[in-house]
């Protein structure tokens, strides 16, 4: 990256800058003419300088004045047009360069050596790319255009003043040199404080990120007060810096305003004297005063620009400093796309391999190692042996401090990442997943570049090509993200269906097929994309109903019936009798929904629900007021969260004071919302009688009948003959709710559902839907073992030449570790398998064993060759027992 912001600007935008400067220069003659016109107009009004004839045209005083005023209006429009186009060009230029800068910074993060992420936290990097560089976009657009535009305006106005009268011109600029000297001097200290402020805010962001990451430890150790005290101290430092900045900035502003007010004194005194003496026309004095008013704005803009320039320079230099760490991955090696991706076959050899961090003691020191090709190799050692670092070096995740690594005679660290990233698979102890679907995470290792363009109509394609063209102009990657990026051939598949079958096959290898299936039952099927499957699930619905009866389990599921109240659904769900498509009729907003309130009023349920809500709140306060925050009973039984208890206590106090009928709308909504959460068979509060059930069913019918036409698509109503696309697959097959009072009812019903889906051949469809389950940020919606198994499956799907496991089973139990290792050895018969083992005894099943100790190889060979009391391998195994 360029070290200075002006170097960055000139390198990537000098043509656009020149275009803006040319337009600025073109605007100045028109601006000068607009300054001169008022003098001519005033003189024409006074009868001086009247032009009775211009060419063949004759003018009276009135018509001449009309002509001059028309010219003045034209100049206003022309000058406004110039400003508009200059600002548009500057804005587009600035945003394009800001986009380029952010792209470059993000690309550099992708090129950081792994060690850099131990020195720099996300809390520092994220604000730099997002908020810190945001003002640079505006500055880049102004970098040359603003000083040229405002400076040109200023010089044009000064030239005009000197043309009118040299003395007045000298008076206008007399104090500018002093301002130009003093104000930058004062600004330097502000700049230094600005640097300090940026650094301090970064550490604050880092502290917030650290607190979020360690929130579990903060709660577990009651250290909230310590964290708050530390945060308050940091806020105090920022306050002190910012207050000093404000003091100095306001003093600069005060000094500048005071100096600016002195110049009008000279104009009024000297100019008035010259007019009285007849040495200056009254029109000229008015024009001079008008021109001087135009001097203040550009001069202020130039002074502000100087401050902005210094702030932007500081921000840019500090950002560049953070994004130029040692060991940055070579851009060419990362982005190169060879015509042919060679296979990495042959022996793996290290020569004098060494690795250290921050020039400290060597973690690996002179490792000379030759691993036979196509073999299954175990690497064992204690936690400080260097075994994990060796695996990461072989996977090219770390760069050797000394020595090199050869695979089939090729130097690994000289190869493009397109080769090593596709031919080597690495699985560490902590699985890295992205906030996407399970399918997307499994296919992540196959997405290297667009393989097939998306299908679009001509209009969409034109818009997309325009967007990609803008990406190129901003120096961004112009690959179409909407294209199909999956390299099916790399996985040995011909098309999407074959790939889906392969994904389900591989998740079976890692014992995830049941998990995927269960997630699929909770998922939603796109009935428009899969109408055959949707029809199949509707058919399975009836088959399940028959089998429930045949198995004597019909009481486990309370089926949906438009004419009956469902005691295993909430009050609100009974009213809707369907699933919301968006947030309009979401449970949290139901009580305040206008249509819902109309229906409740129409059938006379409003007062009953408010009264029921008040009884629920009273019960909850009586039962849970003395429990500690976070107590499990709140999740299991309470309608109200712990921090809501004081609100409902206050509402009940108001009920006692004014009565239900005179409550405020907000209080009524809170109590009705509480009623809507009531599930009769689960909560057993005895608040719903047969009469209330009938009225709810009546309200349900009114709700559907009176629903406005434009809102009918916002709810998928339950229909025994239709698939409900807004409900899960399980809900569609059940077409009802599992009884809360049935022992192990959910498990028994799901087992029967699975049996029915197996009979109808729909289990595979359910698993395919499960592949589309969103795993959450960093896979947070999955368990640690599930995440690890997905990482292993992802590695298998891309069929690497070399598979490296670095304690990949650390989160699994020993039995699961053994099973996964056995599976990998079975699946990787044609793949070089290198496994760093957490337990040395598992090395027995590998062809070759490497024992590490103190950063060096202390032994290697087959397990049988190392199976003697003096060998370091046996010592490790004995230490584990």
Task: Flag the least confident range among 134-148, 221-235, 664-678.
Answer: 221-235
Q: What pLDDT is recorded for position 135?
A: 86
Residue, of 176 and 873, whose pLDDT is higher: 873
pLDDT reading at 726 higher than 80: yes
Share the mean pLDDT of the chain.
85
Q: What pLDDT is recorded for position 281?
A: 61
DSSP state of 642: G
User: Rounded CA gap, 292 and 172, in Å?
Assistant: 7
Task: Flag the least confident range among 278-282, 379-383, 677-681.
Answer: 278-282
pLDDT reading at 790 higher than 90: yes
Residue, of 510 and 204, whose pLDDT is higher: 510
Q: Could you tell me the two tokens for 137?
A: 């976009």
pLDDT reading at 112 higher than 70: yes
Half-sphere exposure of 193 (CA within 13 A, CB side): 19
Let me know how long the chain is: 881
List Cβ neighbours of 636 (8 Å cut-off, separation of 6 or more): none
Long-range contacts of 708-717 (CB under 8 A, 24+ apart): 708/595, 711/584, 711/595, 713/581, 714/580, 714/581, 714/582, 714/584, 714/585, 715/576, 715/578, 715/579, 715/580, 715/581, 715/585, 716/578, 716/579, 716/581, 717/577, 717/578
Q: Could you tell me the two tokens for 125?
A: 């990097």
- Pairing mode, strands 802-806 and 832-836: parallel
Q: Span 98-120, mean pLDDT?
A: 88
Q: Are 769 and 437 in contact (CB under 8 A)?
A: no
Residues of the chain with CATH 3.40.50.300: 348-440+778-880
What would be the CATH architecture of the domain defined by 5-207+240-322? Up-down Bundle (1.20)
Dihedrals φ, ψ of 206, to 5°?
-60, -40
* E-strand stretches of 730-837: 736-738, 802-806, 832-836
pLDDT reading at 57 higher than 80: no
Write down the pTM of the prediction: 0.81
Q: Span 484-499, mean pLDDT?
A: 92
Q: What pLDDT is recorded for position 291?
A: 64
pLDDT tens column, 475-490: 998 899 889 999 999 9
pLDDT reading at 53 higher than 60: no
pLDDT reading at 788 higher than 70: yes
Q: What pLDDT is recorded for position 804?
A: 94
User: Rounded CA gap, 33 and 658, in Å?
Assistant: 74
Helical spans, DSSP H, in 267-342? 272-276, 282-322, 331-335
List Cβ neighbours of 178 (8 Å cut-off, separation of 6 or more): 259
Q: What pLDDT is recorded for position 259?
A: 63
Q: What residues does 848 pair with on adjacent strands?
A: 377
pLDDT tens column, 453-462: 888 888 888 8
Q: What pLDDT is recorded for position 169?
A: 67
- 567: confidence class by pLDDT, cuts 50, 70, 90: very high
Starting at the edge strand that comes first in sequence, how are the strands of the sheet with 348-355 ordered? 364-371, 348-355, 402-407, 410-411
- 634: confidence class by pLDDT, cuts 50, 70, 90: low
User: Rounded CA gap, 673 and 692, in Å?
Assistant: 16
* E-strand stretches of 306-381: 348-355, 364-371, 376-380
List Cβ neighbours of 24 (8 Å cut-off, separation of 6 or more): 86, 145, 148, 149, 152
User: Rounded CA gap, 711 and 594, in Å?
Assistant: 12
Q: What pLDDT is recorded for position 657?
A: 87
pLDDT reading at 219 higher than 80: no
Q: What pLDDT is recorded for position 131?
A: 82
Q: Within 10 Å of residue 220's Cβ, how many Cβ atoms?
A: 9
- 643: confidence class by pLDDT, cuts 50, 70, 90: confident
Q: What pLDDT is recorded for position 559?
A: 92
Residues of the chain with CATH 1.20.1560.10: 5-207+240-322
pLDDT reading at 56 higher than 70: no
Q: What pLDDT is recorded for position 100?
A: 92
- 636: confidence class by pLDDT, cuts 50, 70, 90: low
Look at residues 772, 768, 738, 765 and name the one whose alpha carbon lies nearest to residue 752: 738
Q: What pLDDT is recorded for position 638?
A: 64
Dihedrals φ, ψ of 780, to 5°?
-65, -20
Task: Flag the least confident range among 249-253, 387-391, 524-528.
Answer: 249-253
Q: Span 159-182, mean pLDDT?
A: 69
Q: What pLDDT is recorded for position 267?
A: 62
Q: Are 792 and 510 in contact (CB under 8 A)?
A: yes
Dihedrals φ, ψ of 354, to 5°?
-135, 150
Q: Span 226-253, mean pLDDT?
A: 79
* CATH among 3.40.50.300, 3.90.1150.10, 3.30.70.270, 3.40.50.2000 for 348-440+778-880: 3.40.50.300
Question: Crossing angle for the helix pair 282-322 and 145-164, nearest 10 degrees?
Answer: 160
- 76: confidence class by pLDDT, cuts 50, 70, 90: confident
Q: Span 420-434, mean pLDDT?
A: 91
pLDDT reading at 33 higher than 90: no
Look at residues 633, 636, 616 and name the one whose alpha carbon lies nearest to residue 624: 633
List Cβ neighbours of 385 (8 Å cut-off, separation of 6 or more): 852, 853, 854, 855
Q: Could you tell me the two tokens for 822?
A: 């056995």
Q: Are 517 and 767 in contact (CB under 8 A)?
A: yes
pLDDT reading at 808 higher than 60: yes
Residue, of 284 and 302, whose pLDDT is higher: 302
Task: Flag the least confident range among 34-38, 566-570, 709-713, 776-780.
Answer: 34-38
pLDDT tens column, 261-295: 666 666 667 667 766 776 666 666 666 666 666 66
Q: Within 10 Å of residue 11's Cβ, how many Cβ atoms?
A: 10
Q: Span 56-66, mean pLDDT?
A: 75
Distances (CA, A) of 125 to 138, 262, 323, 393: 21, 48, 9, 25
User: Rounded CA gap, 395 and 804, in Å?
Assistant: 7
Look at residues 351, 841, 397 and name the one whose alpha carbon lies nearest to residue 388: 397
Q: Could you tell me the two tokens for 306?
A: 């100087």
pLDDT reading at 578 higher than 90: yes
Distances (CA, A) of 90 to 20, 23, 475, 801: 7, 11, 18, 51
Q: Could you tell me the two tokens for 361?
A: 């003691």
Look at residues 272, 315, 258 and name the one whose alpha carbon lies nearest to residue 168: 272
Task: Flag the least confident range among 303-312, 424-433, 688-697.
Answer: 303-312
3-state secondary structure string, 188-247? HHHHHHHHHHHHHHHHHHHHHHHHHHCHHHHHHCCCHHHHHHHHHHHHHHHHHHHHHHHH
User: Rounded CA gap, 12 and 475, in Å?
Assistant: 9
pLDDT reading at 606 higher than 80: yes
- Pairing mode, strands 484-486 and 447-452: antiparallel
List Cβ neighbours of 377 (8 Å cut-off, separation of 6 or more): 371, 832, 833, 834, 835, 846, 847, 848, 849, 850
Q: Could you tell me the two tokens for 770?
A: 């499960």
User: Rounded CA gap, 350 and 719, in Å?
Assistant: 67
DSSP state of 314: H
pLDDT reading at 240 higher than 90: no
pLDDT reading at 469 higher than 80: yes
């Amino acid at each position: 990256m360029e070290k200075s912001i002006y170097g960055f600007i000139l390198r990537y935008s000098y043509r656009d800058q020149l275009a803006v400067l040319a337009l600025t220069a073109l605007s100045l003659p028109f601006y000068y003419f607009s300054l001169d016109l008022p003098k001519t107009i005033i003189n024409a009004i006074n009868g001086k300088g009247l032009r009775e004839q211009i060419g063949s045209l004759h003018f009276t005083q009135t018509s001449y004045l009309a002509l001059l005023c028309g010219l003045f209006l034209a100049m206003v429009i022309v000058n406004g047009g110039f400003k508009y186009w200059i600002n548009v060009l500057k804005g587009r230029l600035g945003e394009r360069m800001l986009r380029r800068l952010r792209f470059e910074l993000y690309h550099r993060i992708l090129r950081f050596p792994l060690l850099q992420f131990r020195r720099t936290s996300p809390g520092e990097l994220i604000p730099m790319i997002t908020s810190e560089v945001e003002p640079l976009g505006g500055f880049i657009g102004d970098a040359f255009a603003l000083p040229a535009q405002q400076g040109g305006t200023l010089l044009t106005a000064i030239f005009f003043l000197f043309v009118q009268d040299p003395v007045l011109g000298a008076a206008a600029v007399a104090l500018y040199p002093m301002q130009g000297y003093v104000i930058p001097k004062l600004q330097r200290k502000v700049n230094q404080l600005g640097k300090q402020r940026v650094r301090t805010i970064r550490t604050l962001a880092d502290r917030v990120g650290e607190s979020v990451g360690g929130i579990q430890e903060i709660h577990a150790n009651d250290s909230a007060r310590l964290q708050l005290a530390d945060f308050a101290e940091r806020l105090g430092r920022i306050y002190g810096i910012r207050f000093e900045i404000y003091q100095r900035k306001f003093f600069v502003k005060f000094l500048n305003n005071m100096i600016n007010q002195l110049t009008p004194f000279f104009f009024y005194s000297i100019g008035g004297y010259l007019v009285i003496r007849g040495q200056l026309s009254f029109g000229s004095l008015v024009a001079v005063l008008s021109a001087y008013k135009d001097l203040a704005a550009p001069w202020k803009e130039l002074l502000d620009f100087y401050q902005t320039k210094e702030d932007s320079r500081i921000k840019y230099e500090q950002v560049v400093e953070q994004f130029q760490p040692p060991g940055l991955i070579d851009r060419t090696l990362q982005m190169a796309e060879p015509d042919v991706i060679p296979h990495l076959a042959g022996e793996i050899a290290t020569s004098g391999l060494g690795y250290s961090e921050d020039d400290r003691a060597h973690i690996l020191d002179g490792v000379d190692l030759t691993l036979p090709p196509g073999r299954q190799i175990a690497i064992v050692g204690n936690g400080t042996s260097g075994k994990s670092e060796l695996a990461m070096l072989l996977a090219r995740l770390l760069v050797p401090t000394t020595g090199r690594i050869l695979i089939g005679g090729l130097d690994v660290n000289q190869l493009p990442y397109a080769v090593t990233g596709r031919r080597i698979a690495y699985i560490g102890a902590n699985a890295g997943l992205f906030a996407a679907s399970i399918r997307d995470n499994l296919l992540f290792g196959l997405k290297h570049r667009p393989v097939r363009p998306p299908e679009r109509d001509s209009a969409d394609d034109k818009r997309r090509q325009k967007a990609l063209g803008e990406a190129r102009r901003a120096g961004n990657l112009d690959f179409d993200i909407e294209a199909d990026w999956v390299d099916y051939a790399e996985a040995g598949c011909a098309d999407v269906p074959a790939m889906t079958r392969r994904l389900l096959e591989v998740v079976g290898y890692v014992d995830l097929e049941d998990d995927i299936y269960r997630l699929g039952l909770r998922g939603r099927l796109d009935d428009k994309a899969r109408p055959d499957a949707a029809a199949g699930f509707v058919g399975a619905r009836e088959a399940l109903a028959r089998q429930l009866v045949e198995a004597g389990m019909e009481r486990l599921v309370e089926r949906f019936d438009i004419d009956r109240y469902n005691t295993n659904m909430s009050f609100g769900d009974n009213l809707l009798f369907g699933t919301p498509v968006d947030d309009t009729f979401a449970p949290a907003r139901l009580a305040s929904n206008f249509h819902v309130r109309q229906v409740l009023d129409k059938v006379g349920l409003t007062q009953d629900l408010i009264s029921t809500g008040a009884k629920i709140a009273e019960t909850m306060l009586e039962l849970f007021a003395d429990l500690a925050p976070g107590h499990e009973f709140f999740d299991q039984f309470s309608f109200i969260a712990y921090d809501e208890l004081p609100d409902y206590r206050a509402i009940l106090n108001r009920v006692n004071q004014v009565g239900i009928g005179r409550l405020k709308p907000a209080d009524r909504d809170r109590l009705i919302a509480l009623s809507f959460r009531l599930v009769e068979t689960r909560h057993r509060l005895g608040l719903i009688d047969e009469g209330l059930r009938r009225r709810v069913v009546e309200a349900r019918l009114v709700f559907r009948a009176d629903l406005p036409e434009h809102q009918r698509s916002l709810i998928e109503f339950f229909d025994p003959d239709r698939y409900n696309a807004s409900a899960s697959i399980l809900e569609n097959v059940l077409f009802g709710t599992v009884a809360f009072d049935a022992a192990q009812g959910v498990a028994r019903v799901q087992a029967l559902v699975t049996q029915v889906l197996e009979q109808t051949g729909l289990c595979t469809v359910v698993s395919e839907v499960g592949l589309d389950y969103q795993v959450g940020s960093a896979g947070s919606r999955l368990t640690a073992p599930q995440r690890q198994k997905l990482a292993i499956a992802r590695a298998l799907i891309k069929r690497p030449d070399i598979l490296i496991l670095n304690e990949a089973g650390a989160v699994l139990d020993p039995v699961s570790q053994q099973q996964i290792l056995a599976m990998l050895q079975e699946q990787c018969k044609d793949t070089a398998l290198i496994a760093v083992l957490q337990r040395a005894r598992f090395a027995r099943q590998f062809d070759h064993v490497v024992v590490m100790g103190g950063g060096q190889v202390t032994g290697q060979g087959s397990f049988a060759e190392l199976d003697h009391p003096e060998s370091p391998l046996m010592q490790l195994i004995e230490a584990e027992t």
